[in-house]
Structure 1
Amino acid sequence: MLCSDQNFDIAQVIRFFRSKPGELAIYYELESGEKSYSRGIVKVCPNTHRVTRFLEKPQEGVTASRLASVVFYCLRKESLTYISEFLNKHPDVKDRTFGKFWEWLVNEEKVPVYGMKLPTGFQLIGQVGLSDYTKWLAHYSSKQQLSPSKPITCRSYARVGLMGNPSDGFNGKTIAMSISNFWAEVTLMESQTLVLLPHPLNDPTEFGGLQDLFRISRKEGYLGGLRLLQATCKKFYQFCSEQGIALSKQNFTLKYDTNIPRQVGLAGSSAIVSATLKCLMKFYNITDNDLPQPVRANFILNVETDELFITAGLQDRVVQVYEGLVYMDFSKQLMDERGYGEYIPLDMRDLPMFWLAYLSDPSDSGRIHSNVRQRWLNGEPAVVEAMKSFAELTDQSRAAFQCKDWARLAQLMDENFELRRSVYTDDCLGPGNLKMVQLARQFGSAVKLPGSGGAVVGLCMDQERLMEMKRAFQEAGCVFCLIVPYDPSVQGQN
């Protein structure tokens, strides 16, 4: 019999087995105190999930792999003849073990065997003593063994694009920063059935009347956060199944809350997806090795683009995964070679004072992209060159951040906006965005769009005029605030 902290989803294991043209071996990652010579050790290709090497209880130092195969295998009907062949070739009883069989099957016969990871501890009942049981009880209690009284709560922050956007969707470069002013928070609680709780304001199902429904739908739209929770859960299960990660058989209740202004391009949707993914990873004990940061950003983007058909780029998802101030290079060569770009956190010490203003009654931010993507795909020279220029401005801004040359950064922010304006045109940017830019410039502030539209981010070199500028924005019907950067390296932050 097997001993683990949870029963895993056997249906998911069977689904993974059926999707692969070979046999199946379940494995897990050894704990720090476990010795590799006590287990069958496998090497698994991270891309294909094929077991490339099987070593039955190897001596210390023979392999660096810490992936241990457990006594759970799936063998196809047509492969059963291998058992007779193995027994004929190994008459000695001591060689006739299951581990030796799989070692022979993988290493000598080169039969395709695929590995599925069990994200948990593991022991064989009958091979452990009281001290081992005590150790494992302590191990499991340190995991997220949850009850309704101990939920998991995770938060993801809004972000502002400080340079290069919107070139993240066009093999460009950007710099973005997560901010503490606004966030999305998701809470997960273990439960008997899987429940997604609608938000009372963002997912209304009851109205005072048709006029109330009309007013709310006109202002908030039809796209609440509940669909984001559901799409993330669906994609998470699919991802784990495809990546060979067996999930424990547990259910949960999810709910969310957010104070990120809607439809002003501050990455509110991706913040909900990101926070949901954090909760699921903690609940199922999925580590950064299972879902590395750059892959996690791709996952969040795919939830929105593949499942919900939201027009989006990678920038928001990258900065919400890495958090802080992040330089991002999405060059075609990098994206083609490994599927993600180069993401470098920047020093956040002694940053200048940035401000943010947004429209109190915005339009759908996704419409701001217009037909630029198609023009870029068609190879239109003006668009192609503009995206290269965005990348050049980003590299210059990175140098300005490193040298703390804020006057130069302000100049580059203005250039970023004018370049965007030349490509997207005033008609596409809309009167609301142009009005906010014009207002900021009246007070000598650098200004640009931090996202897809509906808000502006600025850098005012004359801080004595900040309060005067704030009043002007408020009188114009906008919301104005000073940005509080979110620095993940600072202790005590959520």
Structure 2
Amino acid sequence: MVVVMEKEMEMERRAYARVGLLGNPSDVYGGRAVSFAVAGLWATVRLRASDDLLVQPHPRHDLVAFPSLHALVERLDGGGYYGGVRLLLAICRVFHDHCKHSGIALEDKNFALSYDTNIPRQAGLSGSSAIVCAALSCLLDFYGVRDRIGVEVRPSLILNAEKELGIVAGLQDRVAQVYGGLVYMDFSQEHMDKLGHGVYTPLDVDLLPPLYLIYAENPSDSGKVHSSVRQRWLDGDEFVISSMKEVAHLAYDGHNALLQKNYAELARLMNRNFDLRRKMFGDDALGELNIKMVEVARSVGAASKFTGSGGAVVALCPDGDAQVELLKTACQEAGFVVEQIEVAPSALTKEELANLSSHQ
């Protein structure tokens, strides 16, 4: 989304939270995914021309002053140690290095960056990469190089910025946020080796059935979930490798189910996706609260799985409105928030969409 401010060199860009509908976490392992961006949950970054290059801390997310020691500890318990400044610094560096290595000349001028977000922290909705994505969009337009850095390349730049900070993740989230809307993604090694990126196919958001977001007020830390499985995969663990291949194929089957609007099949695939994740990672890694969200949804017959690595769940009620009401009641009784999801529209310009179509 592009918002141009009154001043000529002042702009605001927005990137949305994302929901991994199928295939996660196989995107980290050369798999496939179906994901979409969520309207109503976003990060915004503002850029204005400045004499000095400034990265401005957020008044709430980057606090360094507190009324008491107790208040400091409460802030760390609820929000962790990190705000968004480090994310802005990292994407500035990655953007600079990419342009330098690609022979893209950047005008010698400075800017000030600031950000805001309403995406719940540590909820598995990709809040960190939304900030990075919005910042990258600002940099592309401030330096006038949007046409020099392809849409397919941008998710990798966002991921590289997060890797600078030790964040473990795959490309799925960043693709959904760069593209917006609903996207089917293929990260097979063949594509990555040949193209340097996956094959990303935007889909009509009207293919989706009504979906519901469930999350807890006190979510888990999504950054801890990948640890042991990644090492087992690298070590050649046959169970992890075969399970991850099956998870990837669920996205392939889900793509076809969406095209046919076969929502009963989509529900089955969603449940299978979570069941495979649970077998690979184990309950201790997934967390009791995260598992409970899935089980509460399933207690009324809804299909459910993590939106990402934990902290929030996406649910589908294949039996219609009566089942939705049961879901809302069950979530309320369990102390969870449940909301119907509105899918964000495509984030690409007409020119970018046309360019994608010409390459498919």
Q: TM-score range by the shorter chain?
A: over 0.9
> Does 1:263 pair with 2:149?
no
- Conservation of the 8 A alpha-carbon contact between 2:212 and 2:340: yes
**Cα separation, partners in 2 of 1:146 and 1:411, compared to 1, 3 Å:** closer
> Does 1:174 pair with 2:33?
yes
Q: Which runs of 5+ in 2 are unaligned?
A: 350-360
1:232 matched to which residue of 2?
91
Q: Secondary structure at the match of 1:179?
A: strand
Q: How much is the aligned-residue C-alpha RMSD, in angstroms?
A: 1.9
Q: Which runs of 5+ in 1 are unaligned?
A: 1-143
Describe the superposition over 1:276-327 as per-residue Cα deviations: whole angstroms up to 9, x where unpaired.
0000110000123x1111211111000001x111011010011111111111
2:151 matched to which residue of 1?
293
Which one of the candidate residues 307, 317, 329 is aligned to 1:471?
Answer: 329
CA distance in 1 between partners of 2:21 and 2:112 (Å): 36
Which one of the candidate residues 247, 257, 274 is aligned to 1:390?
Answer: 247
**Cα separation, partners in 2 of 1:205 and 1:431, compared to 1, 3 Å:** same
Give the partner amino acid of 1:371.
S
Deviation at 1:343, TM superposition (A): 0.8
> Does 1:416 pair with 2:276?
no
Which one of the candidate residues 142, 145, 158 is aligned to 1:283?
Answer: 142
Deviation at 1:150, TM superposition (A): 5.5
2:311 matched to which residue of 1?
454
**Greater RCO (Cα-Cα under 8 Å, separation 6 or more):** 2
- Conservation of the 8 A alpha-carbon contact between 1:199 and 1:255: yes
CA distance in 2 between partners of 1:435 and 1:471 (Å): 15
Describe the superposition over 1:121-165 as per-residue Cα deviations: whole angstroms up to 9, x where unpaired.
xxxxxxxxxxxxxxxxxxxxxxx9998576211000000000010
Q: Secondary structure at the match of 2:294?
A: helix
Within-5 A mapping of 1:75-224? 148=7, 151-224=10-83
CA distance in 1 between partners of 2:90 and 2:347 (Å): 31
Deviation at 1:475, TM superposition (A): 3.2
Q: Secondary structure at the match of 2:14?
A: strand
- Conservation of the 8 A alpha-carbon contact between 2:210 and 2:341: yes
Larger Rg: 1
Deviation at 1:489, TM superposition (A): 7.9
> Does 1:376 pair with 2:272?
no
CA distance in 2 between partners of 1:429 and 1:267 (Å): 17
Deviation at 1:338, TM superposition (A): 2.4
CA distance in 2 between partners of 1:475 and 1:145 (Å): 44
Q: Secondary structure at the match of 1:371?
A: helix
- Conservation of the 8 A alpha-carbon contact between 2:186 and 2:200: yes
- Conservation of the 8 A alpha-carbon contact between 1:167 and 1:391: yes
Describe the superposition over 1:333-388 as per-residue Cα deviations: whole angstroms up to 9, x where unpaired.
21122221111111222521000011211231111113001111111110110111
CA distance in 1 between partners of 2:94 and 2:26 (Å): 26
1:254 matched to which residue of 2?
113
- Conservation of the 8 A alpha-carbon contact between 1:447 and 1:459: yes
Which one of the candidate residues 261, 285, 291 is aligned to 1:404?
Answer: 261
- TM-score, normalised to structure 2's length? 0.92
Q: Looking at secondary structure, tell me which structure has more helix per residue.
A: 2
Deviation at 1:233, TM superposition (A): 1.0
How many pairs were matched up? 346
Deviation at 1:237, TM superposition (A): 1.3
1:4 matched to which residue of 2?
none
Please list every run of at least 4 consecutive aligned residues from structure 1 whose deviation after the TM superposition is greater than 3 angstroms.
144-150
CA distance in 2 between partners of 1:234 and 1:487 (Å): 29
Identity %: 48
1:303 matched to which residue of 2?
161
**Cα separation, partners in 2 of 1:248 and 1:315, compared to 1, 3 Å:** same
CA distance in 2 between partners of 1:421 and 1:231 (Å): 33
**Cα separation, partners in 2 of 1:286 and 1:490, compared to 1, 3 Å:** closer
